[in-house]
Structure 1
Amino acid sequence: MSLDDAVQDLADRLGVALVVLDHDLKIAAFSVHDTDARLARLARLLAGSTAPVTNSLVEGHRLRYVKHGVRVPQADGELVVLPLRHEQQLLGYVYYVEDREAPRVDDLEVLESAAPEMGALLSLRISERRHDKENSKNLLAALLGESPEARSAAAETLVRENLIDDVENYSVLVLQAPESSSRSVTRLAVEATLEFTMRSTTVKIVGAVLGAEGIVLFPRPVNHDRLERALADHDLEEVVAGVGSVKPSLPEAVDSYHEARLALRASRLDRRRYGRRVFWEDLGIDRLFLQLPLDRLTASQLPAGVRRLLGAPQGAELATILEGYLDSGGEIQGTARRLRIHRSTLYYRLDRIREIIDCDITDGATRLELHAGLRIARLAGLWPHR
């Protein structure tokens, strides 16, 4: 008998709607919810907006240690919770909300008598999940690896085992926690993305933590707003996300992965411009610059005008003025608005910049050289401190 069958049989015996949670309070199984009130509770639970069994409830009622059912008064009916164990190990909980007009006196006894079998079945379900996770992780690593043959084989297996949809649109999301955080934060970000997607759509996606990176493979373009909502948890606000473009076949998803890593790098190097959620499509000319050996560049390799400007007194401020001027296409009013300075101040500082770099900033070729040089200097960390 499967866990689902055991839960449904017990629910039918008791006349209640049962839910089984694993040790992390994530849904492992649930019975049929056959009334409007029960369906509404289930919908809220699946949407992640409410969960009757919380960590505070577990701690407050010592549910990790009790061996019998616990009744907890709730606003919409009494909550009945029972820990599930297998071989003395706590694996999760089964619960229901008491909404019957005439409960039987032996309900807890029936529930507790079924607990050993449900604990064993929950243990099997958890083992299967671990195997599926490890399998998905290995296939994802092969899909994004160096060997074309391994990528093709992994793509075939992912589709055959129904782990990802067989479509013509694949994109990769790369997640990474700050260096000061533990790797578990990256894992939480992957799990949050997977859970949000499973709650909000029937699309099949695959995710895993590979090294220091969290990777999620989508059979569709990644939606910016939904990505923000998936990572909306306070603990994940510092997580950086890079998103690659859509590719037409699963073996080509490796190209989306490399793009996503470059997008993530853009956030690391220029948080001011890109923030923490960066899409390859938004990088513009930085797509090229980010593929340079930026960590090996020195100031001596920059164009002469850029080098002189960055090395001058107030170099950081003047370089920012010139960058804003070039970003605005040399338009004075737009530059002043962008930099939030008066036009007379802008004119004065542009004159100062001309003196330092000793070249005509209205010349197209000169502008290109200066603009590219300034951008590379910022990405390479060669911008002087104020």
Structure 2
Amino acid sequence: MSPDSSFNRARAGSDTLQSLVDELAEDLGRSVVVDDPLVRLICSSRHFGDADQVRVRGLLHGYADSETIRFILAQGVAQWSRPGMIKGRDDIGLLPRYVVPLRERGHLLGLLMVIDAQQTLTAEQIDAIENASRAITAQMYTEYLATDAEETSAEETLLNLLSTSPAGRSAARERVLSSGLLRDAPHSVVSVVEVSRSQDDPPAQIQVALRAAVEPFRRTRSVLGAMAVDQERAVLLQLRDRPPSQSELTEQSTRILCTLATFLSPSAAPTVGVGGSRTNLAEAWISYEQALVAARAARRLPALKGIGDWEELGEFAILAQLPEHALNESLIPMPLRALARSSGAARLRETLRCFLDFAGSAPRTAEALQIHRTSLYYRLRQIQDITGLDLDNGAHRLVLHLGLRIEELLASEHCDSGA
């Protein structure tokens, strides 16, 4: 786990950290703010008549608005190794800022910001900022070390609780119940949030963003849970006294994706997989396995818009478990390939898909396609002639239906390759 995560666990700064920030502000005669790597407030000095709208909103709400966060992160501050200026933006009420990335052992702990509207910081003031930044970084790292061991142990226990090893699960369950970390409940649900690595988002920033997106749902009035985060994935276990509704889980997943969209670039392409609701803590590992499958389906099926729910996947819950190396065009049946090469392929494939989805009901298919039944029967005869399969034969229908579903799972690869 990286140090970045500690500042999502407790974003309020310690008294010592606050004193260091106040001392620097008084020395400069300027407002000083320390934010976490996602531009969320950790601590702030009093202001000296230099506050802009962004600072005022930050003090009121504890964080900047999404537009401001996206703008600042777009300047690349999460990758800076030395101080620099970020330009202002009148439309969001942001004045130029002198920004110091607070790093220790390569990890970004936070951002120290000083408003410098006219860029009038003197050499002596910049030296003072540099000296204070070293002390602030050391304090932040000390606070991280004091809390990290406990958090790491809890996350390792959670992953053991969700493992495929019965012995490991049993031991982890005893630990979490005896320690009071969790209590058993009638219903358990696991969600998995995954992102793609890219050059646009440093790995540390991805980890911090994942924690920020998932943390609000770990403990609520109706949920007691735990979470584990690494550089590409967050796992959220929720224990409930009543089963969650599909709308609750969808809203939760949507909010997670919205948060990640604020903190990460579009290339991160986050997805959420939601497992089925299981009985008590002992069966949470089943929900976890289902969530992994659902997340994979969400990556491969654009129609899901980044959210896969095991309970809603239908046949895709089975197909999405095919090994990655096996999930390729070789699985598409030859009759379906022949249909794809035929004249009017798109129209015929859509007719076939609709006919199979409606369990071979000609009236419902014709209505959905808004064509006369005579036209439908003509198309179905064409499909049978081209594929050599009988649409009155259940096994033949299954071959074609599975082939169409596999094509949907492969659709994202075609999009990525520009096909």
* Bin of the TM-score, shorter chain as denominator length: 0.5 to 0.7
Other-structure match for 1:175: 194
CA drift at 1:145: 2.0
Summarize the Cα distance change of 1:231–1:275 in structure 2 as closer, same or farther, 3 Å threshold. same
SS at match of 1:278: strand
1:88-107 aligned within 5 A: 92-95=110-113
Summarize the Cα distance change of 1:338–1:25 in structure 2 as closer, same or farther, 3 Å threshold. same
CA drift at 1:64: 1.7
1:81-160 aligned within 5 A: 92-95=110-113, 115-128=133-146, 131=149, 134-135=152-153, 137-155=155-173, 157=175
Aligned length: 358
1:1-386 aligned within 5 A: 4-10=14-20, 19-21=33-35, 24=37, 27=40, 29-30=42-43, 40-42=57-59, 43=61, 45=63, 48-51=66-69, 56=75, 64-65=82-83, 75=93, 92-95=110-113, 115-128=133-146, 131=149, 134-135=152-153, 137-155=155-173, 157=175, 168-175=187-194, 177=196, 191-198=208-215, 203=220, 205-209=226-230, 214-219=233-238, 222=249, 223-232=252-261, 233-236=264-267, 238-267=269-298, 271=301, 274-291=304-321, 311=338, 314=342, 318=348, 320-332=350-362, 334-336=364-366, 338-339=368-369, 344-354=374-384, 357=388, 359=390, 361=392, 366-367=393-394, 369-380=395-406
Summarize the Cα distance change of 1:262–1:219 in structure 2 as closer, same or farther, 3 Å threshold. same
Q: Deviations over 1:158-193 (max 9, x none)?
A: 577787787543312152538xx5797887666434
CA drift at 1:150: 1.8
Letter in 1 for 2:309: F
Please report the TM-score for the alignment, with normalisation by the length of structure 2: 0.61
Letter in 1 for 2:381: D
CA drift at 1:121: 0.9
CA drift at 1:325: 0.7
CA drift at 1:206: 1.5
CA drift at 1:260: 1.8
1-structure distance, mates of 2:76, 2:292:
40
1-structure distance, mates of 2:354, 2:178:
52
- Taking only the aligned residue pairs, the percentage that are identical comes to 25
CA drift at 1:120: 1.8
Question: Higher Cα Rg: structure 1 or 2?
Answer: 1
Please report the TM-score for the alignment, with normalisation by the length of structure 1: 0.65
CA drift at 1:278: 1.4
Summarize the Cα distance change of 1:338–1:242 in structure 2 as closer, same or farther, 3 Å threshold. farther
Other-structure match for 1:102: none
CA drift at 1:327: 0.9
Q: Deviations over 1:92-133 (max 9, x none)?
A: 4434669xxxxxxx9999877755543321221344566466
SS at match of 2:137: helix
CA drift at 1:31: 5.2
The answer to whether the 8 A contact 1:4-1:31 is kept is no
Summarize the Cα distance change of 1:284–1:381 in structure 2 as closer, same or farther, 3 Å threshold. closer
1-structure distance, mates of 2:360, 2:397:
11
CA drift at 1:280: 0.6
Summarize the Cα distance change of 1:119–1:290 in structure 2 as closer, same or farther, 3 Å threshold. closer
Choose between structure 1 and 2 for higher RCO, CA contacts under 8 A separated by at least 6 residues. 2
CA drift at 1:259: 0.9
CA drift at 1:348: 0.9
1-structure distance, mates of 2:115, 2:216:
22
The RMSD of aligned alpha carbons is 5.4
SS at match of 1:256: helix
Letter in 2 for 1:29: I
Ranges in structure 1 where 5+ consecutive residues have no aligned partner? 99-105
Ranges in structure 2 where 5+ consecutive residues have no aligned partner? 1-11, 117-123
Letter in 2 for 1:373: V
SS at match of 1:170: strand
Summarize the Cα distance change of 1:139–1:234 in structure 2 as closer, same or farther, 3 Å threshold. same
Q: Deviations over 1:64-93 (max 9, x none)?
A: 258xxx999895778676665779998644
Summarize the Cα distance change of 1:154–1:350 in structure 2 as closer, same or farther, 3 Å threshold. same
Other-structure match for 1:101: none
CA drift at 1:289: 4.7
